[in-house]
A and B are shown apart, each in its own frame.
Chain A
Amino acid sequence: MDFKFFIYLIVMAGATYLIRMLPLVFFHKKIKSRFIRSFLYYIPYTVLASMTFPAVFYATSSVLSAAVGVCVAVVLAYFRLSLITVALGASVGVLAVELLQILI
């Protein structure tokens, strides 16, 4: 752990904290602007989508195993299974493919 890491940590934690804390302390009214509310509604989903794809395909040791994991996750999530079930289901899918790849 070096000096640069602490700079990263402070900047990161500071940005996250201020975004959460400032409205809690200073804001007591609801946001009226439909545009801003819509923007803030879309942000989590577009962030998650662009964080997940295409990075997820390189999150395991092969693109093939990751692709199978994604398919398992999409199917399980489509049926509204819990976060943990989907996450572990995807992992099991990856594990199955990678064990097969080792055996074959």
Chain B
Amino acid sequence: MTQFEKNESVVTLRPGRRTGIGQLMLEYNLYIILAVLLTISSIVSREFFTANNLTNLLLRCSFNGIIISGMTFVILTGGTDLSVGSVFAFAGVFLATLQRGYFFRFMPELTTAFEQAGELNPILPLPAAVALTVVVGGLVGLVNGLLVTKAKMPPFAATLGTMVAVRGLAFTYAGGFPIPGFTEGVKWLGTGQLGVVPVPVAIWLVVLVVVWVILKFTVFGREVYAVGGGETAAHFSGIRADRVKIAVYVISGMLAALAGVVMAGRMNAAEPREGAGYELDAIAAVAIGGTLMSGGKGSVLGTAAGAIVLGLIANILNLTNVPPYPQQIAKGLIILGAVLMQRFVSTR
């Protein structure tokens, strides 16, 4: 991760202060990468520029997209959140139990999916159930935040702990198997359409706009950047750095849970295995998106572009019929290439 730390010089290069094509390319290199990938895609596959494929692409990106909107906050403060994949899975399982009339559903023994599925018996109206699930995700974030600030644990270690524990919680809650079946409302969250836009994509866009506004225009948003850019200086300037850091983990947990709800609706099943490795995809997207891993610089729009780059890579490889395992090799290399290219372009 240290490779990003020396990128700081980018901070000084803003359009308007120095002009010229070179500067613009520096500032927008990520979007240039995106354009290059799009061009390649359209060349290698005729199916690429079909409405169907593009919608699909965005749909695939939207889950990761929602998660990384939260992850961006965390990384901007110089932290990281490995627990997002587990929270993502747990959220689905938790919502599934809520829809079966329980708040808690502890399965001491593994049972078959059929036995445990049970009748749908929602005890809360859908908005309340989703809100509660998101709050529970926020609670995991609160634990992360307290571990990082009050117990002064390195974010990597703290969220690694909660990642493992929450994954275990998801399995325990579910009794080890997927819980199939949700109410229509939940399914709509995952599969519905708003005109031509799939609901998950719409949710992602709303989240994106809200996060962008928070980071750019609110005091809290600027405090996030200040804490990431120089925690001691921010603290000495009267910013309650601990509160800011706790808040970013809470936000990350909440958005991971929201993404989990949407995914559960899409699959019409709560799968405790779901979302393993999502934390790494999320970190990769944030890194590709140009956010400094040491904090203080970056934007959620960059992150979104990073998520699309990742999605595009998978999409191209699928369209060109590359089998799954070699796909991973290619994906890894392309991530390295994209980040390296950014670094090369930004530091020259």
Q: Are A and B bound to each other?
A: no
Give B residues with C-beta under 8 Å from A.
none
Give A residues with C-beta under 8 Å from B.
none
